[in-house]
Structure 1
């Protein structure tokens, strides 16, 4: 188990403390009560307030609590869910997700998040590794058919299926039933019909759950799979205290931002650790409304802002870029937005500047990883922060930078691997003792990210260790080249990878997507960045593409580009 951060608050050891925004204390006591207890307490405080808004259909905190409790009871009685039971959730953002999530925890079980866009092969690995006997999913055919195959293959024993139209407001429910009926799976004719239970009938039974005593610091609340870009995903085991501690850290950092009358937009998927914590757990446990979209569509998001006047938007850089570049995203439509929090990937300075021209909202870049529940650092949410910085460590979080060769801590301003200690750090990877051992160094969580801290405690990241390119013995960081290319007016997106080079060992290759209606040649782009990057950093080749591959939450992906490059060289 990773040790907790020590209580010594000496500013020479933690220079960021002196730069903390007013009112934030580093060693404030963290609330580690299990998240389901906190959300049920919030429901009891103000049962008539709106907890969830899904496409205009609303759920009050009182109704949310009733459904959580009823579903928890049904999971216990029907499936024997108890401490140690793994329950898989394969759901997009709908009211079903928070109900199922908190109900599993209330029943004593562990949530295993499954991305509905994953292939059956990827889902098979996760469910088999976790030992999840029960999966909660939707009756949308596109999603259900994957769950059905998992049951047929023996990776999951039983399904709880939610009826998608039940999540919609009345008019949309009727329209969906008429126009989109073909999108729904025919459950009665499914070859696994005898192993399907219906969510609504389980909730309607209203069976109260039996009490479960949770050991917050040892019982696993969420087993979140991560690291699939370099092999099979590993299950990061996050205790109830890990998740609650990170919620408490974010809450203190927000200085009241996540309390009513705020409304938090959940367009990022709850099955991703960033959205699970920042878009769902933190606001709901504070009695704050969450406004959901099942997926990102610009028009729907802009309509959401106009309809709900939501003021907090957790996002990934590609989403912010789409807003910044869209003519339809006017200042008037974004007028309610006060704070946008960028996470999941590095935020290019060009996107930051373009977004600032559209909205007066504070744009704060944060940083985290699944193994830290996930947030480690964040720029200030109420006041301006240093440009290009991921901000400072959250309260109760310690960080250090370690030399990549000597493994010794480096000084202020020197680049090294970012390492983390804190109450939010996972206990281990599930059934992966070697990977767990490699994930820590002297009790510090290794992030695999390279960066440094300035003398005021602001953190700056350079790149991922695995993305580092060694050119003629020199370290070349793709992000440096990407930032230079993004400054050109014709460039919409770019991604840089390292490839084998007979002379230099490795060389950078840049992939570029141009903005609509813009044109530029490879020679012109190289000339443009010649005063921004060194000769060592200059891309050997710039390849133009109509679209760049992205991960399922919208991060630009280097994995597919490396595979594409290898295939193109093999075929030639």
Structure 2
């Protein structure tokens, strides 16, 4: 393979990974039909003791498609899915696509206000939700275009006697028991599965033009935006994923499904990739360290896509050594920077490989990753995936930066979104000549490995110095007492902003501000050292475990505003 001067990363590609792929120009849901045809009896889903084969999953998805169409779903209608990782989340996702719908993934933790905004903005006509979320859904329904709510329960797919006991557990956990009535605009899952024929009309899909998904971005600035992802965006990113993990075998792998499918990262790397490769998914509806360790020990997953906070949680469990984690062969970590300490420790415990990847909702999501089995480079997000181009633009320009110069990371490839739903102006500001402006600051070295220094919006400017929170966090993570940390710039009347570190300590550990100050001064230039430390029991996080730095900054601003008005 000749070295491409403009894409220096190609020279590091192992021979098993192609630099370009011939993608299937098919609707995303065709992968399910192919896997069910090739391996009908293979287990597709393991859910809390219940197993579902590929044939059963395909048949249930066809039933869902026919039911949607019987309720009047037309091609292009939006179907909101507000479920944790359960069999119904997979069935309704593929069923909606088979019927010609566009899926709108919806976080089950949304408040009424957030849910109403997303349903209205997307114009969703159908909503699939968990039974305990029905009161929330019903209260906003009248202010939206939603005509039908399909109600699913965790117990629907639990084996006996768990299905009998679950309502009691639910009442204890959530102090709510909902018994939905089937009729009118409300449809109970088990009745849907009984009544649906499975005879549906296959819609004509143009994979490169037709949307499969409206995926809302986190909304850390302003209101969340619906990212328009086509069938081809998702197919291409899923096929890139399988080529990157070239040692995985069709129909042989077991994947830990802990990343929520309502987040694009879990949806692609766990759900869509598993369906395409006929893998068994072990679904975990809620992150609970004990439950996850037991699932790994019993189900022997070989692949474990995750996020740093998930790996940190497992590593710091007091009884970690009681569990066998040796089945894990490969993990790609995303959604937040992976501290090198965590990577080393996790590989030591499992004997597998844990590498950092990078992506955005707007790119389906993955654009870069370290190689799993060779040529990886610590501290980097790795190199662009096949058919993915990436550059560093100088700040606020489209001029390419020099090697090693910090600027904005931009990406181009078949996985890049069509644009933002009903927001042409914001689309134009984010897509420039096919390049997606990521808003992340980084640089590329001479070998084509990329480094993220921070979000453009998270950079701290203190006393005229540019400070990247990630660099400070990396140092703090090296301290033995620290379990989790996030660094933010908070308002300061003298320096403009000052560096504050929020700290969660490991159980049984103690440390003072003076200890941390001394530790940081040994490892950082004086202007980067946090001026304030705040110890907390926990840090605010998204559903994927990404620490919400912006929420902490907003809290500080509110505190300051309150002080000024007093």
Aligned to 2:405: 414
Report how far residue 390 of structure 1 moved: 1.2
Distance in 2, Cα, partners of 1:9 & 1:198: 58
68, 73, 76: which one pairs with 2:66?
Answer: 73
Aligned 8 A contact 1:259 1:283 in 2: no
Distance in 2, Cα, partners of 1:388 & 1:151: 46
84-93 or 164-173, which deviates more: 164-173
Report how far residue 25 of structure 1 moved: 1.3
CA deviation profile, 1:235-271 (whole Å, cap 9, x unmatched):
0000000000101111111104263321000011111
Residue 164 in structure 1 maps to residue 154 in structure 2: yes
Aligned to 1:97: 89
Report how far residue 340 of structure 1 moved: 1.7
Pairs within 5 Å for 1:233-252: 233-252=224-243
How many pairs were matched up?
559
Residue 490 in structure 1 maps to residue 510 in structure 2: no
Aligned 8 A contact 2:335 2:546 in 1: yes
- Please give the secondary structure, in 2, of the residue aligned with 1:313: coil
Aligned to 1:267: 258
Aligned 8 A contact 2:316 2:506 in 1: no
CA deviation profile, 1:360-404 (whole Å, cap 9, x unmatched):
110011111000000001111233611111111110100000111
Pairs within 5 Å for 1:490-509: 490-509=481-500
Report how far residue 405 of structure 1 moved: 4.4
Aligned to 2:348: 357
Residue 348 in structure 1 maps to residue 333 in structure 2: no
Report how far residue 488 of structure 1 moved: 1.1
Aligned 8 A contact 2:293 2:323 in 1: no
- Structure 1 segments, 4+ long, off by >4 Å, are 177-183
Aligned 8 A contact 1:51 1:288 in 2: yes
Aligned 8 A contact 1:268 1:295 in 2: no
246-255 or 348-357, which deviates more: 348-357
Aligned 8 A contact 1:362 1:383 in 2: no
- Please give the secondary structure, in 1, of the residue aligned with 2:327: coil
Residue 31 in structure 1 maps to residue 24 in structure 2: yes
107, 112, 134: which one pairs with 1:144?
Answer: 134
- Please give the secondary structure, in 1, of the residue aligned with 2:523: coil
Give the root-mean-square deviation of aligned CA atoms: 1.8
Residue 338 in structure 1 maps to residue 315 in structure 2: no
Aligned to 2:456: 465
List runs of 5+ in structure 2 lacking aligned partners: none
- Please give the secondary structure, in 1, of the residue aligned with 2:528: coil
Distance in 2, Cα, partners of 1:412 & 1:302: 43
Aligned 8 A contact 1:9 1:27 in 2: no
315, 324, 344: which one pairs with 2:306?
Answer: 315
CA deviation profile, 1:31-69 (whole Å, cap 9, x unmatched):
232210111111111111101000110100011111111
Query: Judging changes above 3 Å, is the alpha-carbon distance between structure 1 residues 203 and 332 closer, same or farther for their aligned structure 2 residues?
Result: closer
- Please give the secondary structure, in 1, of the residue aligned with 2:36: helix
210, 220, 235: which one pairs with 2:211?
Answer: 220
Aligned to 2:284: 293
Aligned 8 A contact 2:2 2:11 in 1: no
Report how far residue 154 of structure 1 moved: 3.8
Aligned 8 A contact 1:64 1:99 in 2: yes
Greater relative CO (CA pairs within 8 A, separation 6+): 1
Residue 201 in structure 1 maps to residue 194 in structure 2: no
Aligned 8 A contact 1:52 1:289 in 2: yes
CA deviation profile, 1:423-447 (whole Å, cap 9, x unmatched):
0000010000111011122320011
Residue 120 in structure 1 maps to residue 112 in structure 2: yes
37, 41, 50: which one pairs with 1:48?
Answer: 41
Distance in 2, Cα, partners of 1:247 & 1:553: 19
Distance in 2, Cα, partners of 1:557 & 1:23: 38
Aligned 8 A contact 2:381 2:449 in 1: yes
Report how far residue 332 of structure 1 moved: 4.8
Distance in 1, Cα, partners of 2:517 & 2:418: 46
Aligned to 2:222: 231
- Please give the secondary structure, in 1, of the residue aligned with 2:75: coil
530-539 or 348-357, which deviates more: 348-357
- Please give the secondary structure, in 2, of the residue aligned with 1:75: helix
TM-score (normalizing by structure 2): 0.95
549, 552, 561: which one pairs with 1:570?
Answer: 561
Distance in 2, Cα, partners of 1:473 & 1:137: 49
Aligned to 1:437: 428
Report how far residue 183 of structure 1 moved: 4.3
Distance in 2, Cα, partners of 1:507 & 1:178: 49
287-296 or 493-502, which deviates more: 493-502
Aligned to 2:77: 85
